[in-house]
Amino acid sequence: MRNRRGIAAVQPRSALIGTLPMRRRAAVWAAAAAMAGMLASPGPTAAETVRLTLDQGLIVARQALMAGNAPLARGLAQGLLQADAKDPYALLILSAAETELGNPLAGRAAGQAAWRAARGGGDGLRYDIARHTALAALRGGNSLAARLWLRRALDVAPDAKARADTVTDYRDLSARARLHFSAELSLTPTDNLNDGASGKYLAIDDWFVLGALSGSAQALSGLRSDASLRLSYRLAATAQAQTTLALRLMTSTALLSAEAKRLAPDLRSADLNSTKLEGSLTQDFLWPNSQQPISVSLALGEGWTAGAVAGPYARLEAATPLVRSAKFGLLLRASDERHWRRDAQIEATGLAVEGRHALKGGTLGWGVALTNVSGSAINQDYQRAIVSMDYQVARALGPVKLAAGVTAGLSQYDSYSLLGAQVTDGRTDRQFGVTLDMTFQDISVMGYAPKLGLSTTQTRSNISRFEGHGVDVTFGFESQF
């Protein structure tokens, strides 16, 4: 963040002069002119005593700050605060002066107090306060707090240029910062909370009926909330490589509807909850003697299902771009993941290709993913293929930015056991899904815009227990930068 822009924010454009009654401005400017000699020196001498009203003192304090006389500005601001401890303008000047004098903690504290005192004030004033407090946090070595204050400044930016400047500063600061924090939260009402079957009977190939399905095996409606918190720290970085350590917490909480509880009285909402805690180490580097980047990460985690330990897992993943250009990108990704559960061990090996095309009206993305899963217990060996395509519209339709996608998947179990007997042709699942995402970017809060997602998924299987459909409505927030 640029220092001079932050100091310039104390200009009367947004607050100081504009708030003074018209009949008193002439007297204020006369007193300010009388102080011109004092502003050029480090501070007033004992013989230079000038009596000022509170409004005059505020103007002189601002001019002292603009003239580079931070000690005088601080002294005047402190005097003003003796008369009114909640004067947001005096607190703003004190914040800027303390920061300039090498006291960023005091500057940040004054900025926080000014922000509280300015509730109900003009956006210009709060914008200046937020930017000065961000500068104080940055001078104090707290990049995370500085970015938080820049997000606050974004909400009260007085015009489009101020907003664009703040976004640019945030991106610059984020690119240079070592510590990053991100959070995602979504709420999803759904008619298939448990991935249950759409029918009431267990059948093979739609004709060989084996009996009735329990209520908990059928599709149950309810509400799901998903949260993800991620904290990462860049350990080291050079022109050729960088290393990042991250910690991530993921939770999924279910709430069964009254109808679902009647259908499955023995099933609790908590039985559908899950939690993962994961630590990862990522190494990004260039191939020797080339400019080809590659990213390799190792993750170790622990999972919990229905409140019980599900077992640890480990994942090794690597990704490298095959094609890079302004209009076209192609990424190759490979992974190997192993789970050590109480009753079985499972390994999943995957390979994926992801493409991105910049078109005139938007961005087209597509992907193909192949996964082979093998386990030590019965019914855990299968292969899966997924093809996906999405399109993001470049220009918003009014306040809404649109994106849509389709997904088709095929899972094949060569051998599958059901009720103690082998299914002749194994198990085959075919899945098709459609999504529509709407981001309301004009009503964002601190750079996070509300997002509404609509999705429907249809699964067909030769075993009716795995045939189902679901309609989800997801509410969440998406960062705009």
Q: What percent of the chain has pLDDT over 70?
A: 89
Name, of 42-46, 193-197, 283-287, 295-299, the range with top average pLDDT.
Answer: 295-299
Confidence of residue 61 (pLDDT cuts 50, 70, 90): confident
List pLDDT tens digits, range 336-375.
999 999 888 999 999 999 999 999 899 999 999 999 999 9
Q: Inform me whether the pLDDT recorded for 1 exceeds 50.
A: no
What are the φ/ψ torsions at residue 81 (nearest 5 degrees)? -70, -20
Q: pLDDT of 211-220, one tens digit each?
A: 999 999 999 9
pLDDT at site 343: 83
Helix ranges, 242-346 (H): 258-263
Q: Please give the average per-residue pLDDT across 404-430, as a whole number.
A: 94
How far is 272 from 291, CA to CA, in rounded Å? 46
The highest-confidence range among 219-223, 306-310, 394-398, by mean pLDDT, is: 219-223
Cβ atoms 333, 317 nearer than 8 A:
yes
Helix (H, G, I), strand (E, B) or coil at 376: coil
Angle between helix axes 54-66 and 88-100 (nearest 10 degrees) is 30
Is the separation of the CB atoms in 44 and 79 below 8 Å?
no
238, with CB counted inside 10 A (0-12, 13-18, 19+), is exposed
pLDDT band at 49 (very low <50, low <70, confident <90, very high): low
Confidence of residue 57 (pLDDT cuts 50, 70, 90): confident
State yes or no: pLDDT of 207 exceeds 90: no
pLDDT at 51: 64
pLDDT value at 14 more than 50:
no
> For position 45, what pLDDT does the model report?
42
pLDDT digits (tens, 9 = 90+) for 373-383: 999 989 999 99
Q: What is the C-alpha separation between 411 and 377, in angstroms, rounded?
A: 18
pLDDT, position 442: 82
pLDDT at 31: 39
pLDDT in tens, 76-105: 899 889 988 999 999 999 999 999 999 999
In the chain, where the domains are located = 3-176, 179-479
Query: pLDDT at position 138, please?
Result: 94
- Binned at pLDDT 50, 70 and 90, residue 50 comes out as low
Domain 3-176 identical in fold to domain 179-479: no
- Give the closest residue to 338 by CA, choosing from 307, 376, 295, 281: 376
What amino acid is encoded at 475 in this protein? F
pLDDT digits (tens, 9 = 90+) for 447-458: 889 999 999 999
Distances (CA, A) of 283 to 169, 187, 329: 27, 33, 21
Which CATH architecture does the domain made up of 3-176 adopt?
Alpha Horseshoe (1.25)
Q: What is the mean pLDDT of the chain?
A: 87
- Of residues 3 and 133, which shows the higher confidence score? 133
Kindly report, residue by residue over 239-272, the tens digit of the pLDDT.
Answer: 889 999 999 999 999 999 999 999 999 999 999 9
At residue 32, the pLDDT reads 41
SS3 category, 12? coil
pLDDT on residue 55? 80
Could you give the CA distance from residue 294 to residue 333 in angstroms, rounded to a whole number?
Answer: 10
Instruction: Determine whether domain 179-479 maps to CATH 2.40.160.
Output: yes
Q: What angle do CA 148, 65, 50 make, to 5 degrees?
A: 140
d(CA 284, CA 289): 15
